[in-house]
Amino acid sequence: MPRLSEIVHHPLSPFTKRAFYAIVVLAIVMAVGTVGLMVIEGWGLVASFYSMALLATAEGPAATPATDVGKVFAAVMAFFSIGAAISAITFTFGPLFGSVLKEGVRYFEKEEERVKDKLEHRNSDPKTHSC
């Protein structure tokens, strides 16, 4: 059975490099958000990280920030973290989905040709029906 890195080939970069960059970008966004909430709201590391994880997965924070600055920061970080999470998934697995889609299109094209050939063959045969 082929490995995932053999199936997912992309002309710009190998799978592991794309996955590494995606994880780094997501980690940077999460770190900035976590530290920001720690500084602005005075929350602990775990509470800040937990809140950022909930923002990044579009669940919303467990606790609403108490300050207006914290609320604005959380809103901005929600956009960045959701965007980073979606981009990381797309950037990492996009070529795989593209390959699967191409194979599906090829399959349907072959089936369409097979059905057309069958219909043409059927229509070209002389009909020998007697009433």
Percent of the chain with pLDDT over 90: 37
pLDDT digits (tens, 9 = 90+) for 43-95: 999 999 999 999 988 887 778 889 999 999 999 999 999 989 888 888 888 77
User: Where is average pLDDT lowest: 6-10, 22-26, 98-102, 109-113?
Assistant: 6-10
Distance CA(86)–CA(13), nearest Å, equals 19
CATH architecture of 13-95: Orthogonal Bundle (1.10)
Q: For residue 18, what pLDDT is reported?
A: 79
Identify the residue whose tokens are 């795989």: 96
Length of the chain: 131
Q: Is the pLDDT of residue 7 over 70?
A: no
> Rounded CA gap, 131 and 129, in Å?
7
Residues 6+ positions from 5 with CB-CB distance below 8 Å? 14, 15, 16
Give the pTM: 0.63
